Amino acid sequence: MTSQRKLCVRPDGSFKIMQIADLQEIPAISPDTLKLMNASLDREKPDLVVFTGDQIKGYGITFRGGDRKKKVEDTLHRLLEPVVKRNIPFAPLFGNHDGQVGCTNQEQMKMYQRYEQCVGMDDPALPGCGTYDLPIYSNDGQKVLFNLYLIDSHGSAKGGGYAPVDPKQIEWYRATRDRLIQENGGQTVPSLVFQHIPVPEYYKVLQQVPHKTPGAVRAYRTHKNEFYILNPDMVDKGGFMREHPAIPDVNTGEFDAIAEKGDVLGMFVGHDHINSFVGHYKNVDLVYTPGSGFNVYGPGVERAVRIIELHQEKPRSYDTHTLSFQELFGKKVSNPIKDFFYVHSPTTPEAAVPLIVKTVGVIAAIVALIILLTKIL
């Protein structure tokens, strides 16, 4: 499904996108989240903002009770206000937590669509909610120069883990791509893919290492008991990975599809809040954007937005960088105690198990010591 609102490059042929990942906010929105959004928008002045899912913390207890729908509407309104008041078009996607709030993603999409700046859509013929594409036109609006694919990566799977992108969505991508090729005189249209959950191929830009390797990250599920670092030969310098890519257990071939004709320059995801890097595999960039919200776990003052800039004169390449809270405001946050907790909390239930075991072990040791001392003293 394609937006009816035209997005056009600037007179100089450039087009700037801001990706905001994993705000995961609650009704009492963190002032630091809004500070990061407002300052980033003022500095970068993007032509489009893409929210790549988990805008709200659907499982948050503060959404429970009262008029839940109104709480969601009010929270989204405050999150969108920095974008809307600057009259910037925005495109929403959904993550695995948005729908947990009790309002379906379809209901939330309608909330987004009440804003004239929203270019998001839902095709009821496709699985999930919010799989669509956004062509970017020449400045005169006559020719498609680029295309953005926004793909709903769904949420939890039955039996645990995450559901993969559905084959029907992959068929839709191929059909849209081939139509654009036909309309473009047989040439592919340079494109980007945005979605919430990474594809399994993100592991292709990692390097498996012994568990005692400095910086090694423990993986789970399909990569259980394996340890990884970023592969320096496949990942740009300056990135970081502090949790394993939480991928679907099943690979439905999405990456193979987007890599097969060379139209997709890069895939941009969020989901894993403390990962931020640009990897390269089979001529497709595999990009992570860190979380932006301060009411959920994250990389501290390295929470950031990502900027992607396209250029008409060099359509087969793009520029990208992150803009962090620390770059804008330094290291002082509004609630350092809460942020310390979020920085050091486990990222997944699997990651919490060793911490729980260790904690129980420490408590047991203290109890044993107390018992021993009572017998001795």
Tell me, yes or no, whether 322 lies in a domain: yes
Is 338 strand, coil or helix?
Answer: helix
Q: Which residues contact 161 (CB under 8 A, 6 or more apart)?
A: 221, 248, 249
| pLDDT for the residue 357 | 53
As given in the structure block, the two tokens for residue 16 are: 């700037």
Q: Give the model's confidence band at 207: pLDDT under 50 very low, under 70 low, under 90 confident, else very high.
A: very high
Number of domains the chain contains: 1
Residue with the two structure tokens 């320096």: 232
Say how far apart CA 369 and CA 371 lie, in whole Å: 5
Q: Is residue 332 part of a domain?
A: yes
Instruction: Answer yes or no: is 255 within a domain.
Output: yes
CA distance 86 to 45: 9
- Asked whether residue 355 is domain-assigned, the answer is no
List all residues 6 or more positions away from 339 whose beta carbon is below 8 Å from its beta carbon. Answer: 294, 300, 333
Flag whether 375 is in a domain. no
Does a structural domain hold residue 95? yes
Statement: residue 371 has pLDDT above 80: no
In whole angstroms, how far apart are CA 52 and each of 70, 143, 206, 238? 22, 27, 23, 22
Contact 263, 240 (CB under 8 A): no
Name the CA dihedral angle for 228, 235, 239, 212, rounded to a multiple of 10 degrees: 20
Q: Tell me the mean pLDDT in the region 116-136.
A: 97
Residues spanned by the domain of 220: 7-345
The span from the CA of 78 to the CA of 65, in Å, is: 20
Does the residue 353 lie in any domain? no
| Of 4, 1, 44, nearest in space to 305 by CA | 44
The mean predicted confidence, pLDDT, of the chain is 93
- List the CATH number of the domain containing 71: 3.60.21.10
Q: What does the longest C-alpha to C-alpha distance in the chain come to?
A: 90
159 pLDDT band, cuts 50/70/90, is confident
238-252 residue pLDDT tens: 999 999 999 999 999
Structure tokens, 134: 């956004």
Please enumerate in sequence order all residues whose Cβ is within 8 A of that of 300, keeping only pairs 6 or more positions apart, or say none.
Answer: 333, 339, 343
Kindly state whether residue 364 falls inside one of the protein's structural domains: no
Q: Report the distance separating Cα 171 and Cα 193, nearest Å.
A: 15
Residue-wise pLDDT tens digits, 62-81:
999 889 999 999 999 999 99
Distance CA 196, CA 355 (A): 27
Per-residue model confidence (pLDDT) at position 356:
54
Output the six-digit token pair for 131: 């799989």
pLDDT of the residue at 5: 79
Q: Which of 91-105, 132-146, 157-171, 360-374 is the least confident region?
A: 360-374
Q: What pTM was computed for the model?
A: 0.92
DSSP state of 50: E
- List Cβ<8 Å contacts ≥24 apart for 234-237: 234/204, 234/205, 234/279, 234/280, 234/281, 235/205, 235/277, 235/278, 235/279, 235/280, 236/277, 236/278, 236/279, 236/280
Question: Where do the DSSP E strands lie in the chain?
Answer: 7-8, 14-20, 48-52, 90-93, 132-137, 144-150, 191-194, 206-208, 217-218, 227-230, 240-241, 264-269, 275-281, 284-288, 304-311, 318-324
Q: Give the span between the Cα atoms of 305 and 313, in whole angstroms.
A: 25
- Per residue in 293-344, pLDDT tens? 999 999 999 999 999 999 999 999 999 999 999 999 999 999 999 999 999 9
Mean pLDDT of 108-128: 97
Share of the chain above pLDDT 70, in %: 91
β-strands 144-150, 191-194: how paired? parallel
**Which string of DSSP letters, residue by residue, matches 194-242?**
E-SSPPGGGGGGEEE--TTSTT-EE--GGGTT-EEEE-TTTB-TT-EE-
